[in-house]
Amino acid sequence: MKMDGDIRVRTSKDHQQLYNDLKGLLVKDFHELFFLTACLGYRHGCHARLGKSAEDRFWSKTITPDEWCAYYSMVLSKNGMDFSVVKDDKAVIAKIEEYAHGGMLFFIENTLNGYLLEKESGLSVDKSVSQDLPRRVMQSVFETAVKG
């Protein structure tokens, strides 16, 4: 639990274009989108291994202390508050990568659909309708929070 800044955080290669498109449109940096999708994955019980689709996306030094606390809390909660599970930050990040991947799949299906185009390079944000996307994401986050 030292908030190690030297870990390469991975996401799916399939979502590289989405990360690039949503940076600047919805978030300022990759770690913010990763946090959003990790929270969605955790909240909805969606986690998926990256497997061979894993690709380095950003350094853990960009993760804020508040984000680290949320990650530690997620892992502790799912492991019966066993503090030994948060001793290794690489293991914590590996588990959170699964939540972020599952959360991105949930995000695509439940929020981003209608805002995406399929290209050879993967899914991409449709720029012709993207101006409404931040409002739609906030609406989705609010609805998720209200449902408790």
Nearest alpha carbon to residue 97 among 133, 54, 126, 52: 54
Mean pLDDT of the 66-94 span: 95
In a domain, residue 50? The reply is: yes
Mean pLDDT of the residues in the chain = 93
pTM: 0.93
Its domain, for residue 57, covers 8-146
Is residue 145 pLDDT above 80, yes or no? Answer: no
In a domain, residue 113? The reply is: yes
Is residue 146 pLDDT above 80, yes or no? Answer: no
Mean pLDDT of the 108-120 span: 92
Nearest alpha carbon to residue 99 among 121, 70, 125: 70
In this prediction, residue 148 carries a pLDDT of 59
In this prediction, residue 1 carries a pLDDT of 64
Is residue 58 pLDDT above 70, yes or no? Answer: yes
How many domains is the chain partitioned into structurally?
1
First to last CA, the chain: 29
In a domain, residue 3? The reply is: no
